[in-house]
Amino acid sequence: MTRAAVLSAVGAPLEIRDIELPEPGPGRVRVRLAAAGVCHSDLSLSNGTMRVPVPAVLGHEGAGTVVSVGEGVSHVAPGDQVVLNWAPSCGTCHACELGEVWLCANALAGAADVHARTADGTELHPGLNVAAFAEETVVAANCVLPLPDGVPLTDAALLGCAVLTGFGAVHHSARVRAGESVVVFGVGGVGLAVLQSARIAGASTVIAVDVTPEKEALARAAGATEYVVASGTTAREIRKLTGGHGADVAVECVGRAVTIRAAWDSTRRGGRTTVVGIGGKDQEVTFNALELFHWGRTLAGCVYGDSDPAKDLPVLAEHIRAGRFDLGMMVTERIGLDGIPAAFEAMLAGRGGRALVVF
């Protein structure tokens, strides 16, 4: 038996339950979790904004140590430290053949599998493939990536989603160049990763935008050179801070129509807006045809930072070892499994950076 946070139904509170995991079969790996990040996507899964089969064990951002492996698994062995990859690529679909592994059509196929059972025999699914809100988990072999040397195991959990997403948004999607100005909407876990990545990319001005003034010190620690409390005049304030032009790049990490529109309005003529935040279907953003022509801006969605984890993890590890990227500063609270509901409430209220479940 192992303890896990179980979502019994959409909208129901998480329950800490004992669950029974199977032994890893062929192509499967059992991992003892060191830590799991509490991501806004987990909140979106629990309230139905994103749909997965339930009952389920949520949690998709984690790191731990391999306990055992099934037949045919050779890239990791018991005792290895690993990062969980919630969106593994199949290598054979159209997107994978194009090299766009972050858009793999089969990345979430495992979410429909039976992952574990409760003591009364109730079948549980893995929320986003990896079921990281548990002391241990069993996952497909392509859901585990060896942790590069020199990266602390507990904080490495953040690499599984927030850091890969934020780093990729800057370096792959927006392709920020040295000397450019960047504005980041939302100073949560992903936003903090975006701020650090913009600094690494050599951005000259890095502006953080959030609804609360209390996050200013955290944003500046991550690399923000300016801080703006969101209001109806945010775009105007961004233009003032960028010579009247607007930012070269805006990265939206909230997933709301109002912030997507504000990010668009904050960029210069010819600027680039990257949307990382996951919003609901009711969040509709409108543009008129004339402004699309006049401003010449680019609006792009961004899935998982347009990242290939196998290639990006070693790059990130080098930045971490060199002190350019600080995982620890992103963690604003370390909690147990029973602290996840309060962490969800904090996200809804716009408080803090990343809460980390430490086992």
Q: How many domains does the chain have?
A: 2
User: Helix, strand or coil for residue 228?
Assistant: strand
Confidence of residue 48 (pLDDT cuts 50, 70, 90): confident
User: Helix, strand or coil for residue 125?
Assistant: strand
Please report, for the domain that includes residue 169, its CATH number.
Answer: 3.40.50.720
| Residues 135, 89: Cα–Cα separation, whole Å | 25
Confidence of residue 11 (pLDDT cuts 50, 70, 90): confident
Confidence of residue 353 (pLDDT cuts 50, 70, 90): confident
Choice among 9-13, 102-106, 147-151, 260-264 with the minimum mean pLDDT: 9-13
Please report, for the domain that includes residue 352, its CATH number.
Answer: 3.90.180.10
pLDDT for res 221 = 97
Confidence of residue 346 (pLDDT cuts 50, 70, 90): confident
Question: Are 19 and 110 members of one domain?
Answer: yes
| Residues 206, 121: Cα–Cα separation, whole Å | 52
29 belongs to a structural domain = yes
Q: What is the average per-residue pLDDT within 66-87?
A: 97
The CB-based long-range contact list for 114-120 (8 Å cut-off, 24+ gap) reads 115/21, 115/56, 115/57, 116/4, 116/19, 116/20, 116/21, 116/22, 116/57, 117/19, 117/20, 118/6, 118/17, 118/18, 118/19, 118/20, 118/55, 119/1, 119/17, 119/18, 119/19, 119/20
282 belongs to a structural domain = yes
Question: Are 288 and 185 members of one domain?
Answer: yes
Question: Are 29 and 125 members of one domain?
Answer: yes
pLDDT for res 227 = 98
Provide the percentage of residues in the chain whose pLDDT is more than 70.
100
Question: Are 155 and 212 members of one domain?
Answer: no
312 belongs to a structural domain = no
103 belongs to a structural domain = yes
Question: Are 134 and 174 members of one domain?
Answer: no
Question: Are 332 and 267 members of one domain?
Answer: no
Domain that holds residue 199: 165-303
Question: Are 173 and 231 members of one domain?
Answer: yes
Nearby residues of 305 by Cβ (< 8 Å), 6 or more positions away: 102, 164, 165, 166, 167, 168, 169, 172, 173, 276, 312
| Residues 189, 274: Cα–Cα separation, whole Å | 16
308 belongs to a structural domain = no
Question: Are 271 and 335 members of one domain?
Answer: no
pLDDT for res 140 = 97
Question: Are 178 and 65 members of one domain?
Answer: no
Residues, the chain, total? 359
User: With contact defined as beta carbons under 8 Å apart, do 124 and 6 qualify?
Assistant: yes
Choice among 39-53, 64-78, 127-141, 161-175 with the minimum mean pLDDT: 39-53
pLDDT for res 202 = 98
84 belongs to a structural domain = yes
pLDDT for res 203 = 98
Question: Are 289 and 233 members of one domain?
Answer: yes
Q: What is the average per-residue pLDDT within 186-194?
A: 96
274 belongs to a structural domain = yes
Q: What is the average per-residue pLDDT within 54-63?
A: 96
Question: Are 220 and 295 members of one domain?
Answer: yes
Q: Is the pLDDT of residue 132 over 90?
A: yes
What strand order describes the sheet that includes 205-210?
A: 226-229, 205-210, 181-185, 247-252, 267-275, 298-301
Pairing of strands 247-252, 267-275: parallel
Confidence of residue 44 (pLDDT cuts 50, 70, 90): confident
Question: What are the tens digits of pLDDT across the range 86-99?
Answer: 999 999 999 999 99
pLDDT for res 73 = 97
338 belongs to a structural domain = yes
Kindly report the backbone phi and psi dihedral angles of residue 227, in degrees, each rounded to the nearest multiple of 5, phi listed first: -135, 135
Question: Are 187 and 288 members of one domain?
Answer: yes
Q: What is the average per-residue pLDDT within 333-341?
A: 95
